[in-house]
Amino acid sequence: FIMTNKYMYFVANWKMYGALSSLNTLNKVIKFSKSKDINKGRLIYCPPYTLISSFSKKFKNCQIGIGGQNCHEGENYGPYTGSVNAHMLKNIGAQFVIIGHSENRERGENDKLINLKIKSALRAKLKVIFCIGETLNQKKQKKTRSILSKQIKVGLNNIKNKSNIFIAYEPVWAIGSGFIPKSEDLFTTVQYIKSKFKVNFPKVLYGGSVNTQNITSLKEINNLDGFLIGGASQNAKKFIDIVKKTYT
């Protein structure tokens, strides 16, 4: 098995960063996306809501995907100040949406709400990047598997067709911390996640402190289908470097 032959996804999660001036930094990435360095993978940018429309215009003639970082669970317009639903994301050019990120779980999103959001996103014909992951405490208490199992079970409850769902395994303690799981732990956890799906198991991405250094060991974990990249993705050069290093 050669990692370089595998189709991989690289999802940039910009979180609450970025302004119109950030659009210039994308030129490098657009150029890279058209080079043969990346004929075996897909780049997907998830900027804040305010930039989705501009990003999608900017990426019109290339293969780079666009996604939102969350959505409201409602399917119709409604009196929900500050919210955006999946149809609205689709309408401005998004093809993907991140749902269940731990930064939003920390602010009160539970598995049931996440389930409603995922359903609404799938109905709007968005592909879902569904984040799951254990906290440091849960890890210490050896609850990682039971937590992941519950997040998957409740989060995907009553969703029959899972073909448009990616799972992003993001240990909460690895996000923004500079720490990543041990390779063998990551491999077995990803196998565990895949084992929860009897048929057509979803693509599984890893997220949490992926950078230009640790990618050389992360890329060896051959049951991964890609990476969700926060901090490092805001820098075009670093993001490109991570992709390049995955294939070399």
Contacting positions for ligand PEP (CB under 6 A): 13, 170, 175-176, 207-210, 228-231
Task: Tell me if residue 72 is catalytic.
Answer: no
> What residues contact residue 141 under an 8 Å CB cut-off, 6+ apart?
none
Query: Min. distance of Cβ 18 from ligand PEP in angstroms?
Result: 14
Q: Residue 115 or 209: which CB sits closer to ligand PEP?
A: 209
Whichever of 193 and 228 has its CB closer to ligand PEP, that residue is 228
In whole angstroms, the minimum distance from the beta carbon of 209 to ligand PEP comes to 4
CA–CA separation, 175 vs 152, rounded Å? 19
State which residue, 149 or 214, has the beta carbon closest to ligand PEP: 214
Q: How far apart are CB 13 and ligand PEP at their closest, in Å?
A: 4
Give one DSSP letter per residue of 62-115, joined into a string.
S--EEEES--BS-SS--S-TT--BHHHHHHTT--EEEE--HHHHTTT--HHHHH
The one catalytic residue in 72, 73, 101, 134 is: 101
**Shortest distance, CB of residue 12 to ligand PEP, whole angstroms?**
9
87 is known as an active-site residue: no
Q: State which residue, 87 or 173, has the beta carbon closest to ligand PEP.
A: 173
Instruction: Count how many residues are written for the chain.
Output: 248
> Closest residue to ligand PEP, Cβ-based?
230
Exposure b/e, 32-60, CB count within 10 A at least 16 = b? bbeeeebeebbbbbbbbbebbebbbebbe
Q: Which residues are catalytic?
A: 101, 170
